[in-house]
Amino acid sequence: MDSHTALYPSRSPTNASSTAINPFIIISPTEDKDVETQSFRDSTQLIPSPKQRPPQWIPVVLEYWAISSMVLINLSLAVALEVGIYLSNKYNGFQVAQENIFDPIRPQLLLSFFPTLLVLPVAMLWREMEWSIRWLHPYVILSKGQAPAAQSLLMDYIALGPLWSTSKAARLKHWIVFASTVTGLSTFLFQPLAGSIFRLEGHPERSDYDARTVTQIGLLEDGQLNSLNAFVAAAGFTQAAAYNNLTDPPFIHKDWTAAQFSMPDWFTVNGSIILNTSGVRSNPNCAIPRVPPTLTTNEQQATLSATSSTENDCSVSVPFNPADSEEQFGLVSVPCDETPVDFRGVMFWFYRSEGTGGQAQAVFCKPTIQLLDVELTINVTTKDISNVRQLGDRLVPNTVTERLGGRAYNGVVFAPEGRSSVVRARADAIRSGIPGTIYRLAGLKEGGIDSVFRDTNGFLELTNEIYTRHLSVAGKSIYFTPVPRASTLPATLESTVSRLVLDNISGHILAFLLFAIAISGLVVHIKHRRLRRTLYLASPPGSMANVISMASRAGFGELLLPYDTEEVLRKKLDGLRFRLDGRTGAIVVDEAGMERVRSGMGGRSEGASLLGRDGDLEDKGEMYSSSRQARESATVLGEVYPPSVPYRTPYDVER
């Protein structure tokens, strides 16, 4: 049974007599052992020459003007980037708005998005150029002639993608494809580099500012002094600050009190004002007794005695009733000279009962003040003094030095004469409040109150801290008065502002890539233009219609079937050489190349055998006829059937 009968049992092929006259019947080579085949001839001679040759088609991105524009854009961006980096380093960045005008969009998103958006079109154009070179390269190989199937008809750099195309192009020594693909892949670095090139940094900036003075050195009026309002307010703040860990109030810094001046209300960012003004320095001058205090007790009364080491060995005794409380504290004036009570030194004392006895500590203080010219650095937002630099003594006459004669208010002990009961109550509150704050802070120390009593200097540090703050806060009210007329002080406004900075590393790398890709792309374009000098395409290749138009007259189409796998196609076309017909641009088998293939292989390749390219028939001088062509087709397709018999493929299910 023949193959046709096996596939179609209900039908039988036409008899042999019909074979001679039916052009659709091809005799199988297995049935005619004496049939010799002849080479396929392409039928490009049947293609009429156009009256006017169509213009040559090349991709837009491979035009000279397109490549020139891309190169100029790259070089311009590289130069602009380097200039920007230079200016950024020289001027510490570029000025930007200090407030986010695109709220709620974060600044970092803007700084990374827009640079990426700028380089994205550039990267896409270079990738388009690289894609076009990979797309055209099989046709460039065909235009040279003698092109193996593996590098022409079977080559598809587009399907491989840029990554695998790089390795394959290097293996086949297609250096133009390799160089252009590497250039295209390099553009993928544009996005991360452009996204990290800009950042916001805080930089100090100085500008001149005229500060309007609010207060000047001057002693508070007697009526306000005698009311003790300034002192009781200072004592209250000192206690609150100690318990709540508050910072110094505006224009006060530790033992310094400065004259007040106006702050710029338009200044919304962190910054400082530096200016020269007048200040008062309060020194508590505290010290422990010459010898530890002594404590004498009985059932009804106890006496704490201490001798000052700074008041000419002045001794002070404080009687108290130990039965009133296990913990007692207070302060007394040191009556060792004729100084008024308000200006005398004071002694802070502290007592704690322990078993049958008790523990006692004392600290002597003698406050003084200094009137100085100072350079202040004040935070604009918080009005806190961050730094005080002493310039010299204040030599301008003022009521503080004139009326006080260099003395300073102790701020805690006041003469009761001439004061109302309300004022005396304020004095008592101050007298008990300041030492009470010191004692309570001592209980918070590591080791508790016992460790402070056992330490000879245990209460000295705490007394210095609390008493200094009380004197400084009180000094803001009693040693400064409002200015009689407005005046200004020259000041320097120093602020930390956000500036747009270009990152050196990312910027230099991106500029180098832009420059290198521009030069590389230009060289690749020039080389590729020379390679495709012999290439003529009338329309973009790749569409099915274009493929049919270029290969339908090639003469080897009978070799290939729609269901051939890539491996089958490779085997069928192995050994053949192809070219583009110079007149029509059609794809044809290169006969000159085939001669070299046959001589080099010492016989016939599979593809040459299928095409019948022996040369024997040519030597015999046999005429090329339709029947001969049918026999040649039979070498490829085997037996075919008349139109009355349905054609079947390997994919059809047998019925």
Asked if residue 582 belongs to a domain, the reply is yes
Domain count within the chain: 4
SS3 334: coil
Model confidence over 258-290: pLDDT tens digits?
999 988 776 656 788 999 999 999 999 999 999
**3-state SS record for 513-531:** HHHHHHHHHHHHHHHHHHH
Sign of CA dihedral 19, 20, 25, 27: positive
For residues 514 and 82, the answer to whether their CB atoms sit within 8 Å is: no
Q: Return the bridge partners of 376, or none.
A: 275, 388
How high is the pLDDT of residue 588? Answer: 81
> Is 646 a residue whose pLDDT tops 70?
no
Statement to judge: residues 361 and 372 lie in one domain:
no
Statement to judge: residues 314 and 381 lie in one domain:
no
How high is the pLDDT of residue 12? Answer: 37
Q: Is the peptide bond before 104 cis (omega within 30 degrees of 0)?
A: yes
What is the secondary structure of 545-580 as a DSSP string? HHHHHHHTTSS-GGG--TT--HHHHHHHHTT-EEEE
Asked if residue 449 belongs to a domain, the reply is no
Statement to judge: residues 36 and 95 lie in one domain:
no
CA-wise closest residue to 489 among 296, 221, 241, 215 = 215
Asked if residue 119 belongs to a domain, the reply is yes
417 in the Ramachandran plot: left (φ > 0), alpha (ψ -120 to 50) or beta? Answer: beta
CA distance 579 to 148: 9
For residues 337 and 322, the answer to whether their CB atoms sit within 8 Å is: no
CA distance 655 to 139: 44
Asked if residue 144 belongs to a domain, the reply is yes
Greater confidence, 146 or 423?
A: 423
How high is the pLDDT of residue 395? Answer: 67
Model confidence over 469-522: pLDDT tens digits?
999 999 999 999 999 888 899 999 888 788 889 999 999 999 999 999 999 999
pLDDT (average), residues 77-89: 94
**pLDDT band, very low/low/confident/very high, at 235 (cuts 50, 70, 90):** very high
437 CB contacts (<8 Å, ≥6 apart)? 238, 239, 242, 243, 466
Statement to judge: residues 380 and 483 lie in one domain:
yes
Q: Return the bridge partners of 200, or none.
A: 500
632 CB contacts (<8 Å, ≥6 apart)? 37, 38, 40, 611, 612
Model confidence over 562-590: pLDDT tens digits?
888 888 888 888 878 888 877 777 788 87
Statement to judge: residues 41 and 83 lie in one domain:
no
Sign of CA dihedral 138, 140, 143, 144: negative
CA-wise closest residue to 131 among 534, 546, 528 = 528
Q: For the chain, how big is the Rg over CA atoms in Å?
A: 52
Averaged pLDDT score across all residues of the chain: 81
pLDDT (average), residues 543-571: 81
Asked if residue 165 belongs to a domain, the reply is yes
> How many other CB atoms are found less than 10 A from the CB of residue 396?
11
- State which residues form the domain around 608: 26-55+543-637
Model confidence over 94-133: pLDDT tens digits?
888 777 666 777 777 778 888 888 899 999 999 999 999 9
Statement to judge: residues 40 and 184 lie in one domain:
no
Express as a percent the part of the chain with pLDDT over 90: 42
Statement to judge: residues 92 and 134 lie in one domain:
yes
Statement to judge: residues 387 and 307 lie in one domain:
no
Q: 3-7, 442-446, 595-599: which has the highest mean pLDDT?
A: 442-446
Residue 589 backbone dihedrals phi, psi, to 5 degrees: -80, 130
154 CB contacts (<8 Å, ≥6 apart)? 566, 569, 570, 573
**pLDDT band, very low/low/confident/very high, at 46 (cuts 50, 70, 90):** low
> Is 27 a residue whose pLDDT tops 50?
no
Contacts made by residues 240-244, CB under 8 angstroms, sequence distance 24+: 241/469, 242/437, 242/440, 242/441, 242/466, 242/469, 243/437, 243/440
573-604 as b/e: b if 16+ CB within 10 A: bbbbbbbbbeebbbbbbbeebbeebbeeeeeb
Report residue 384 as tokens.
Answer: 């806190």
Statement to judge: residues 72 and 128 lie in one domain:
yes
CA-wise closest residue to 134 among 153, 172, 160, 154 = 160
For residues 296 and 303, the answer to whether their CB atoms sit within 8 Å is: yes
Asked if residue 302 belongs to a domain, the reply is yes
Statement to judge: residues 312 and 269 lie in one domain:
no
CA distance 506 to 504: 6
Asked if residue 588 belongs to a domain, the reply is yes
CA distance 398 to 280: 12
SS3 158: helix
pLDDT (average), residues 209-222: 91
Asked if residue 51 belongs to a domain, the reply is yes
Whole-model pTM: value is 0.59
pLDDT (average), residues 385-410: 87
CA-wise closest residue to 285 among 311, 264, 249, 252 = 311
Q: What is the DSSP letter of 276?
A: E
Greater confidence, 63 or 313?
A: 63
What is the secondary structure of 55-90 as a DSSP string? PPP--GGGSHHHHHHHHHHHHHHHHHHHHHHHHHHH
Q: How many helices (H) and strands (E) does the chain have?
A: 20, 20
Q: Return the bridge partners of 388, or none.
A: 376
For residues 430 and 372, the answer to whether their CB atoms sit within 8 Å is: no
DSSP E strands in 394-487: the ranges are: 480-482
Statement to judge: residues 428 and 351 lie in one domain:
no
Statement to judge: residues 470 and 612 lie in one domain:
no
> Is 247 a residue whose pLDDT tops 70?
yes
